[in-house]
Structure 1
């Protein structure tokens, strides 16, 4: 229900797109084609005699609302909009049969876009049960994969059985690879070429780059038979030529036998991979061309001529071929291939046991993971000036505005997901462009026939039209194209023969610009550009007064520098409303204590407020002038929106005057203290002196200062208390230590068994002399 409501809302928004165009940057243009290309808000009036005689046809280009205001009939307005038409929309399969399954709808759509506008449509996808699968098993046959080959020879039946639990239509094929057959990748000595394996007794075949062994088939016995005839080979370095093999599997569609179904490529290896640039070590410098180079025996014979493909090239070819790779690699290589998988769309990585015994379960799990993720993308490069954004509606989650494609994860069988595709064009396309949208891993496509609306189909083409001065021109979209020898907006004059045909378009003998630089001279008369008028285009229709940034306050038209106001507005800028509703309160204008000027009250002396309902004389002078002191000094308070009208006092704002008992101390609207002085001179004029420091900031400053001082004092107190406690604790510990030292000495007594460690001997013959 929620999706249905969103689709209806999207349809209504698309249908109303032409009506809800904004004014934008629509500028006058000389022709209808240039007009509608310039901005999506621009429209063209083809009505005859719509443009005054002294203006150019460029004035026919304006917004639809402006043309209507100027008197153009709706039927004469050319304002083309983008259109879409669904050409083919087969229903999604409810109970699919593998021969004819529809998961993607619609299938073909025609889309016309006006530059600057957006067209959107909805794509539906329902994941079908039993969708056909093609699986190609690509195996590394370097010597380290010997044990794996023994298991692969016996897995044909198990692999087909596992896939048939998922789909009733499945085919499998087989191919193998080693590396480029040149040094330093493989040994080219005759003995090692014939038998590259370490042991002379084991079966071993000569090295090769890639060999296509078995095309896709549903015969498990044939798969096992052909694989059983394979033997391992050998190379010199740890990296293998797997990228060469993947490129050939993707490029050789006919030899492999790919169908327009889910295509899986299972890549098994225990080694790393060579990539673009590595071929230079072997003298291979030509970039990989991405074409098929298999001979009649299925061998890639050109590997010594073309370098390994890059990761980006490989990802592009796999994506265009709609092939989903599954990298089944051993543990030590798992991290490397996980990083590789991030660069290749719609790929998966699984850890392969040393002998490949878990490969069937690995493939099954990877297929379930890949098929539960739905990625909608455009399959080719976009035409210049075209951009696409995707909104994904996945049931429980939604994402918006992705430019690379829409994505829904965890999609179950028979679950419906939808994508809103939004396409914009900034330029005109040369004819119709074909665009393909597809769900990665699915053979179906949505073909979009894309074109732009850049021409006016006015339907009024008349050669030798009477409107063009009796047949002196051809009429198209209300504009005359004059025949040779005639000129003018209506082809009304012949080609001038005199020396200065522009003399009548200059002011007297002036050598200044023709038509004051604001128009063009046609038949000796000025045809003014938009926003200019007069015989010599001297009048500027944009030079009037503005109010709130709008010309004539948006309530009138500018004519030669003077505002021509609408009937209910007056003033130099049409900013004064003649309406009195804003002055009425309880049926009385300005409460009977003022007069209404420009829909605002001007109060009599002694009355305040927006409707003059507050008695100034009934309050103290401080109360009477509080609101005016606040609004005139600080632009706040209840009168801030009507301050200039309600308050006529002279106001001064002083930074730090002397404050005594004469000063008013009132609470402002925001709760701060407002301090001001009311003074009246002998003529009755009131002067307000406002203390700006005390008025709005002093209390806040004092509060902040008090808090800071309080925190500092509290901090110093806590530091002193901490110091006293620590000092007392240290003294106690020192005293305790001294007591322990005294107790450790014990009683000192003479030991009769004690003997010193040294003996002193006296030489009686020794003399100091």
Structure 2
């Protein structure tokens, strides 16, 4: 008796499990096949790997997986099948070149010869600059590509970086000339020629510039008593915010004398107005003399901290920093007392936009603060300055070696685009996820892979075409990506498969890609339904074709909803019957 009871319980349990499995099977199927629930062409192609059939009077599921739903794929005519692929093409792809000098002839001695292959250009003589022309360095390949992408279908694109030889260097020395830096100024003047010689070993195309800063000439930063505004300390010059003393120039011999003749000044509080100076030194490109194709170094030398956005309120200055150049004909910053200090994020933005590497050359008391700052200012490095700046040449050379032996890739993609970087750098083996490679030398080529994915279609249709740059930090060269997002279908717009007031839709809807888009107040496969008075609206009719409000699929994925009722699909095998009957 016990055995019989046990057998009955087992059989009943098996029946319940099977019924539950059958009830959940359609929902589980739609989870495996995400195409089934898509009702429009644009919803369909925004789902990875799904294709849409726009054929008229098509009785099968219109959104399907071509590799799985082979019957639908075979039934839908090719001209009505919408299944766009990701499309990649290169627009500009000039070969990588090492740069440097190459021989020229005739009247073209000053022209560039960047079209020569790298192997050929390296064999040309560089002994006589008078009979040579500078070859443009190309360090990233390709330079511009076009890309059409479906949503959530990533595309992998290869690109290369190679550090050029004899690459031009612009070095702008920005120095704190408050009273405490007086001995540092003299040491920099003494070491000026040594700095030039050291940088000349790195590149034959070197330019040097110099600027100085103190702080805003208002209380509480500077003593505004009339006497103090003339001479804030013994032997000091009148206080000022920032001044461009020497624009970038090949006349490096003038550097030492200009530094030596620059006067120190004085202020009251400990932090200085260095951020004002950095902002002006970056954005005043013409006044400073920054070149388009050069490694741009800004050496920031100080023994103090810095004021940043918000500190200006202490002096009654509430206007935010506008990030615009405000230098007069003498190189003096004219808006020092009119607008606030820049924020760290503003400095970082301008550094990125202008491809500048900042070297924070600061004393031991400040090194920890500026090392933390390097995490917030892209491509910046911090080095410890001796008390009298006697190690400045070694520090700059050491930091330059760190900068030039490393490459880090960044991009300007919007929030709708995800870019992931992979590379094996200089190692053997498969690529790993990284955007940075170290230990590079001149001529070393590094291969990167950018995996680009559109995560969502922006609501604004004009944003379906975007342009963004992939760039090596601190180098003014980019790989431009012209991206077109495949967010909808051509047949959803004016054309042969677009028909307003279509008879197929009973004249109250637009036929798009083979399906009806009903006007307000109508619904159904052919817009044949309208809500009855006792029914509150479309949603109730729509949900009546679903087992509960958590389901996203009409008729369990085995039929279509018509005026609030399921029209079930016929079985492929008409003789097949269900072993169990259940109701939802």
Instruction: State the TM-score, normalized to the length of structure 2.
Output: 0.75
* Equivalent residue, structure 2, for 1:185: 221
Q: Residues 48 and 361 (structure 1 numbering): CA distance in 2 closer, same or farther, change over 3 Å?
A: same
In structure 1, C-alpha distance between the alignment counterparts of 2:416 and 2:205, rounded to whole Å: 42
**Secondary structure of the structure 2 residue equivalent to 1:337:** helix
* Equivalent residue, structure 2, for 1:258: 290
Check whether the contact 1:539–1:561 (CA below 8 A) recurs between aligned residues.
no
Shift in Å, 1:349: 1.8
Check whether the contact 1:43–1:77 (CA below 8 A) recurs between aligned residues.
yes
Shift in Å, 1:216: 0.7
**Secondary structure of the structure 1 residue equivalent to 2:408:** strand
Shift in Å, 1:178: 0.8
* Equivalent residue, structure 1, for 2:276: 244
In structure 1, C-alpha distance between the alignment counterparts of 2:562 and 2:467, rounded to whole Å: 53
Name which of 187, 191, 197 aligns with 1:161: 197
Superposition pairs of residues 26-37 of structure 1, within 5 angstroms: 26-37=35-46
In structure 1, C-alpha distance between the alignment counterparts of 2:373 and 2:415, rounded to whole Å: 31
In structure 2, C-alpha distance between the alignment counterparts of 1:64 and 1:105, rounded to whole Å: 36
Superposition pairs of residues 115-134 of structure 1, within 5 angstroms: 115-134=151-170
RMSD of the TM alignment (CA)? 3.8
Check whether the contact 1:196–1:205 (CA below 8 A) recurs between aligned residues.
yes
Name which of 40, 45, 53 aligns with 1:45: 53
Name which of 70, 75, 81 aligns with 1:72: 75
* Equivalent residue, structure 2, for 1:427: 456
Name which of 362, 366, 373 aligns with 1:333: 366
* Equivalent residue, structure 2, for 1:223: 255
**Secondary structure of the structure 2 residue equivalent to 1:389:** strand
Q: Residues 361 and 479 (structure 1 numbering): CA distance in 2 closer, same or farther, change over 3 Å?
A: same
Larger RCO, structures 1/2 (Cα 8 Å, 6+ apart) = 2
Superposition pairs of residues 96-495 of structure 1, within 5 angstroms: 96-97=100-101, 99-198=135-234, 202=235, 204-260=236-292, 261-378=294-411, 380=412, 382-396=413-427, 400-401=432-433, 406-429=435-458, 430-457=463-490, 461=496, 477-479=513-515
* Equivalent residue, structure 2, for 1:87: 91
Shift in Å, 1:332: 2.6
Consecutive unaligned residues of structure 2, counting only runs of 5 or more, are 1-30, 102-133, 547-553
In structure 2, C-alpha distance between the alignment counterparts of 1:27 and 1:432, rounded to whole Å: 28
* Equivalent residue, structure 2, for 1:532: 559
**Secondary structure of the structure 2 residue equivalent to 1:338:** helix
**Secondary structure of the structure 1 residue equivalent to 2:420:** strand
Q: Residues 362 and 73 (structure 1 numbering): CA distance in 2 closer, same or farther, change over 3 Å?
A: same
Residues 215-258 of structure 1: CA distance to partner in whole angstroms, max 9, x if unpaired? 11111123234333311111122221111111111121121111
Shift in Å, 1:437: 1.0
**Secondary structure of the structure 1 residue equivalent to 2:365:** helix
Shift in Å, 1:303: 1.5
**Secondary structure of the structure 2 residue equivalent to 1:272:** coil
Consecutive unaligned residues of structure 1, counting only runs of 5 or more, are 1-21, 53-58, 507-512, 520-526, 543-555, 564-570, 574-769
Aligned length: 493
In structure 2, C-alpha distance between the alignment counterparts of 1:35 and 1:452, rounded to whole Å: 14
Shift in Å, 1:335: 2.5
Superposition pairs of residues 5-24 of structure 1, within 5 angstroms: 24=33
Check whether the contact 1:468–1:474 (CA below 8 A) recurs between aligned residues.
no
State the structure with more CA Rg. Answer: 1
Instruction: State the TM-score, normalized to the length of structure 1.
Output: 0.58
